[in-house]
Every structure is written in C-alpha cells, then in structure tokens.
Structure 1
Amino acid sequence: MLLGYARVSTDDQDTAAQVAALESAGAGRIFTERASGGRWDRPELHRMLDQVRAGDVVVVWKLDRLSRSLRDLLQLMDQLDAAGAGFKSLTEAIDTTTAAGRMMMQVIGAFAQFERDMVRERTRAGLAAAAAQGRKGGRRPKLTREQRAMVVRLVGTGEKTAAEAARLFGVNPSTVSRLLATERHTGDELRL
C-alpha cells in the first residue's frame, strides 16, 4: 500500500497541491500535518509510522516535507527499512524500492556521516587549541571558590540549610547538593 504524507508549517499554507500529487501517485491513505519539519513530535507522522507494514511505501511530495534535518530523515529511513517498507519522494525522484533509489539514499547517508565526522574533528581541534591556551571547556561555575567554601561552611556548621544557602547565593538547590556531595566524596576541605 502507498501511504502519503503531506506537511505544511503554518496555518496559512495549504496541503492541497501535495495531496493532489500524492493521490495521482496512487497513495491510498494520506496523512496531513501542520507542524514544523524540525519537530520530532508530529502526531500524524507517528500515526503513519505506526501503520507502516512490510511491503508498504511511504510517499512524500518532497524530501523536506518529511524532515528538515538530514539526521532525522536518515533515522526515518532506518525505521522504514526495519519495517520492510520503502520510501518514495516525487519531486527528487528517489524510490528506495529500486536499486538506484537505495544507492541514492546511501550516498545521502555517506555525506551525512562525512559531515558528522568533520564537525567532530573541528570540535576536537577547537578543544585542543583551547586547552593549549589554558582554557577549560564547559560552563563557568556558578559560584567562586570563596563562595563554594562559604556554602560548605554554612551548611556544615548548621548555620544554614542547603536550600537557604542556595537562595542566599542565587543558585539552584541542586548546585548546592552537588557541591556538598563532592565535598563529602573527596573529603577535602575547599581552600581559598
């Protein structure tokens, strides 16, 4: 069975052209959605995926109607492949029920993997350069060393509760809890 999927991002757009193209392609059931392609929580998409069976083919008017993210698109392709279903994009002439269509999706997947690897390499190089300059990655601590020592002292002596110390320094109580847990775990005193 051919299952069609049509999507628009805003209410002022219309799915009529997509639906007409999907019907002329032979889609027996068409799922229409009004949601951003960047969102994963699209109810009609998930309803369609739940109904996909082996031998079915999911048809879209254009690739970006299914997903705006290449990573998400490839994940959807994996789900369809695991279900034994195919995929067809009318505009880009991609049809994974054919050898050429499967090759095209593999080429797209290879480029996506290449892009992920390049981002990973650039990130590692940037972190190494920052470390060489003495900079450490991650968020800056909410509390200075002096403030951390004061929190430990105030809570340790019973002068303040952890919640009161958090309010005093304007941080989340979980920040104080982590600080106290680290202090108990290491057993070291925070030195100024």
Structure 2
Amino acid sequence: MILGYARVSTDDQKLDSQVDALTEVGAERVFSERISGSVRNRPELDRLLDQLRSGDVIVVTKYDRLARSLRDLLEIVEAINARGAGFRSLAEDIDTTTPAGRLIFHVFASIAQFERERISERTREGLAAAKRRGRIGGRPPALTENQKVEVRRMRDEEHRPLPEIATLFRVSTKTVRRA
C-alpha cells in the first residue's frame, strides 16, 4: 500500500498541492498535519508509522516534509525500514525500496545536513565580524545601569518584594532578580 504524508508548518499554509501530488502517484491514504517539522511529536506521523506494514511505501513530496534534521530523517526512515516498508520522496526522486535509492537517500541527507551546518557557520562568522566592528546583536537590555542600581537599592534598603519592583519597572521578576 502506498501511504502519503503531507505537512505544513503554519495554519496559513495550504496542504492541497502536497495532497494532490501524493494522490496522483497512487497514495491510497494521506496523513496530513499542520505542525512545525522541528517538533518531533507529530500525531499524524506517529499514527502513520503505527499503521505501517511490511511492503508499504511512505511517499512525501519533499523529504523536508518528513524531518528537519538529518538525525530525525535517518531515524524516521530507519523506523520505516525496520517495519519492512520503503520511503519515497518525489522532489528528490528518492526511493529506498531500491539499493540505488538508498544510496542516493544517504547522499542527499548528508548534503542537506552539510548545507545547514554551513549556513550556521556563516551566521556565526557574520555575528563575530559584526562584534569586532563594535556591533552587538540581540535585544537591548530591559534595564539601564541606573535602573539596576535603583532596583538593588529598593530591594536592599526599602526591602520591597521583587514582584513589586518588577511591576514598577514594567519588567519580569526574573529581570529584577538578574539585576
């Protein structure tokens, strides 16, 4: 049996094109959900894997619909293989029911992981270069240095509770505690 899996990350995205493509290649049943790929607990994917039988093939339009990281992708495909089933991705033309398809799957997955790591590395390099030029990223501090001094004075001299101080400065109690 060919089983489809379709996923979008947000409510405003549509599943229609994925479902149509999966139906067109013969998916007898399509499991779909609206949830981020970074979330590992995906009810419909879990339901699909639970119902998987030997000889079945799970089809997705793109392999990033199944997983966001190489580790997750490999774990999910391993679970599929352990049940005697196969995996097929339409966009990448991967079909793990064949030896060549399994090889291509691992090569593509490795390249995708390499690409994500390079993006992360370039981001870190860019932030370091900006920092060397005196630019500091991130959110501005919630309290100025003068406000931090006043927070400590109110706590130590006036013995005011932290939640009260936080309310006065319109910040969280955690911010007051850090100050």
How would you bin the TM-score normalised by the shorter chain?
0.7 to 0.9
* Higher mean C-alpha displacement, 84-93 vs 162-171: 84-93
- Structure 2 residue matching 1:7: 3-state secondary structure: strand
Q: What RMSD over aligned residues (CA atoms) do the two structures have, in Å?
A: 3.3
Match of 1:71 among 63, 68, 71: 68
* Superposed displacement of residue 78, structure 1: 2.3
For the Cα contact (< 8 Å) 1:21–1:61, is it kept in 2? no
Q: Which residue of 2 aligns with 1:142?
A: 142
SS of 2:26's equivalent in the other structure is: helix
TM-score, normalized by length of structure 1? 0.69
Q: Find the aligned partners of 2:97 and 2:79 in 1 and give their Cα distance.
A: 14
Normalised by the length of structure 2, the TM-score is 0.73
Cα separation, partners in 2 of 1:129 and 1:7, compared to 1, 3 Å: closer
Amino acid at match of 1:5: G
CA distance in 1, matches of 2:107, 2:75: 14
Q: 1:156 to 1:57 in 2, by over 3 A?
A: farther
Structure 2 match to 1:7: 6
Q: Supply the distance in 2 between the matched residues of 1:81 and 1:12 (Cα, whole angstroms).
A: 28
CA shift for structure 1 position 154: 0.3
Shift of 1:159: 4.2
Indicate conservation of the 8 Å contact 1:18/1:61, yes or no: yes
Q: Return the alpha-carbon distance in structure 2 between the equivalents of residues 117 and 170 of structure 1.
A: 39
Determine helix, strand or coil for the equivalent of 1:71.
coil
Measured in 1, the distance between the counterparts of 2:36 and 2:59 equals 13
The answer on whether the counterparts of 2:60 and 2:90 sit within 8 Å (CA) in structure 1 is yes
Q: Which runs of 5+ in 2 are unaligned?
A: 8-12
Q: Which residue of 1 aligns with 2:22?
A: 18
CA displacement, residues 71-128 of structure 1 (integer Å, 9 cap, x when unaligned) = 2576234222145243123565421122211121122122212212221321222122
Q: Assess if the C-alpha contact under 8 Å between 2:88 and 2:94 holds in 1.
A: yes
Unaligned runs of 5+ in 1: 180-192
What is the rounded CA distance, in whole Å, between the counterparts of 1:88 and 1:177 in structure 2? 52
Q: Secondary structure at the match of 2:142?
A: coil
Q: 1:150/1:79 Cα in 2 relative to 1: closer, same or farther (>3 Å)?
A: same
Query: Does residue 87 in structure 1 map to residue 90 in structure 2?
Result: no
Radius of gyration: which is bigger? 1
Q: How far apart in 2 are the matches of 1:131 and 1:16?
A: 48
> Paired residue for 1:153?
153
Q: Check whether the contact 1:22–1:60 (CA below 8 A) recurs between aligned residues.
A: no
1:5 shift after superposition: 1.9
Aligned residue-pair number = 170
1:1-192 matches, within 5 Å, as 2=1, 4-7=3-6, 10=14, 15=19, 18-19=22-23, 21-23=25-27, 30-35=29-34, 38=37, 40=39, 42-52=42-52, 55-60=54-59, 62-63=61-62, 67=65, 71-72=68-69, 75-82=72-79, 84=82, 85-89=85-89, 92-179=92-179
